[in-house]
Amino acid sequence: MTRRAGIVHLGVGAFARAHLAWYTAHIDGEPWGITAFTGRSPAVAEALTAQDCRYTLVTRAADGDAAEVVDTLVAAHPGTDDAAWRHVVASPDTTILTLTVTEAGYRDDSDVPSRLVDGLAARRAVDGGRIALVSLDNLTHNGAVLHDAVLSAVSDPALLAWIDEHVTFPSSMVDRITPATTADDVARLAELPGALDGDRVPVVTEPFAEWVLEDAFDGIDRPAWESAGVRVVDDVTPYEQRKLWLLNGAHSLLAYLGLQLGHETVASAMDDPVCRTAVELLWDEAALELPLPDAEVADARAALVDRFANPRIRHTLRQIAVGGSQKLPVRVVDVVRRRLARDPSAEVGTGAATLIAAWWLHVTGQPDLVDDPGAPGPDSSLHDVLAVIAPDLDTTPVVAAVTAAADGIRSAAAAVRAPSDEGVHA
């Protein structure tokens, strides 16, 4: 199949190949191709090039694996190949530039914005035409974040004016759990029908996939992604909130509460009635603040139950627990603030109180598991915790609710440990 090499992607890794490349492979109409660049390491680019940029996508459901060969990538380059980068971004055939560079890629000390500006300068020099830059990173309003990062790296006023006229920055919300591929995953490919023979870089992912994309292309040519299930909307904000408050909020709750109760994975924690009840309460509270139809929220919750319960997607709680000081303000505090603004007489919800309490117990009682420079220390009081994530919520009712939730978690954890203490006599 001949593909139009109209997309350039920076930061090609497992998620991009399970999401962007997979969606692009399933569109109707003209087939589009992706020229991929790694972050810096050449390893993935070299491995993909050695197998004609084809790879196996393993969809791991609870009842087994299914494999398909994805052939959307038309070339793979190391991120250090600046000449190839400038050439491809400048090409008039390229109309879409996507990236997955993690949150760190948008910070002031990152070289990503300058690399983007370098490519855009080359495009302007050859009059390459309009182009859309699409972030696929898990950032709220990622289009605006990308826009600001790019403009902050521009020093030439003429280039700045050209970008303003020729470049759009659509926001997007993306979702597909993609755990790291293991050596065992690679070894088992040989027995999986549909897999690429000798594949060195397969990708493992869950059956669920979602992409909500802002309709901000202003006539710029793009793949017919909606034919593959992408939702193209005027405003992605409600869908960002749905993901943050339902999926991400529940992930944080399962991580901190689950670790207190001895669990290692999302599936294990979700199978615990204590954790499951707390998640449902958190979702009940978030649902009241979501600007989406009740039926859509209910469908999203049902899908999350299935996803979280998949025991074959090993999503570790320790991985999710990283960086709570940055995550909790947008995953749960925002919900609490909206709840209290809507109804000043309302109390903080039990689900939200449990999440905040679980994080407090995590940072104070499990310091060896904490990977979070912004977290308070192991001797922190609840007031110290609230000072980090929500100083305005350090009120008597909130403190009382979180303290009560912490007592409940301690009791549940003690009940888990109790059987191992039976038969031990003084």
Kindly tell me if the per-residue pLDDT of 425 is higher than 60. Answer: no
Question: Do 249 and 384 belong to one domain?
Answer: yes
Question: Do 274 and 148 belong to one domain?
Answer: no
- For residue 62, being part of any structural domain is answered with yes
* CATH code assigned at 390: 1.10.1040.10
Question: Do 203 and 261 belong to one domain?
Answer: no
Kindly tell me if the per-residue pLDDT of 49 is higher than 80. Answer: yes
Question: Do 128 and 11 belong to one domain?
Answer: yes
* CATH code assigned at 153: 3.40.50.720
- For residue 97, being part of any structural domain is answered with yes
Number of domains, the chain: 2
Helices (H), 193-349: 237-242, 249-260, 266-270, 273-287, 294-309, 317-321, 324-328, 334-342
Listed residue (100, 134, 130, 96) closest to 222, CA to CA? 96
- For residue 406, being part of any structural domain is answered with yes
- For residue 138, being part of any structural domain is answered with yes
- For residue 304, being part of any structural domain is answered with yes
> Which of 186, 201, 233 lies at the terminal end of a domain, its last residue?
233
> Which of 195, 212, 233 lies at the terminal end of a domain, its last residue?
233
Question: Do 134 and 86 belong to one domain?
Answer: yes
Start-to-end Cα distance in the chain: 75
Kindly tell me if the per-residue pLDDT of 422 is higher than 80. Answer: no
pLDDT of residue 40: 75
| Two tokens, residue 174 | 């993306």
What's the predicted TM-score (pTM) here?
0.92
Question: Do 283 and 388 belong to one domain?
Answer: yes
Helix (H, G, I), strand (E, B) or coil at 178: coil
Question: Do 304 and 376 belong to one domain?
Answer: yes
pLDDT of residue 419: 62
Mean pLDDT across 98-106: 94
Question: Do 273 and 160 belong to one domain?
Answer: no
- For residue 423, being part of any structural domain is answered with no
Mean pLDDT across 292-313: 96
> Which of 170, 204, 233 lies at the terminal end of a domain, its last residue?
233
pLDDT band at 426 (very low <50, low <70, confident <90, very high): very low
pLDDT digits (tens, 9 = 90+) for 249-297: 999 999 999 999 999 999 999 999 999 999 999 999 999 999 999 999 9
**Pair type for strands 73-77 and 231-233:** unpaired
- For residue 425, being part of any structural domain is answered with no
Mean pLDDT across 317-345: 96
Question: Do 290 and 351 belong to one domain?
Answer: yes
Helices (H), 51-141: 82-90, 112-125
- For residue 424, being part of any structural domain is answered with no
| Two tokens, residue 87 | 């050439």
Phi, psi of 169 (to 5 degrees): -130, 75
Decide if 66 contacts 58 (C-beta within 8 A): yes
Decide if 371 contacts 320 (C-beta within 8 A): no
Question: Do 273 and 386 belong to one domain?
Answer: yes
pLDDT of residue 418: 79
35 forms bridges with which residues in the sheet?
8, 75
Question: Do 41 and 132 belong to one domain?
Answer: yes
User: From CA 254, how far away is CA 263, in angstroms rounded?
Assistant: 9
pLDDT digits (tens, 9 = 90+) for 69-80: 999 999 999 999
Domain extent at residue 52: 4-233
211: which residues sit within 8 A by CB, 6+ positions away?
19, 23, 172, 173, 174, 175, 225, 229, 230, 231
Q: Taking the CB of residue 193, how many other CB atoms lie within 10 A of it?
A: 7
Question: Do 101 and 200 belong to one domain?
Answer: yes
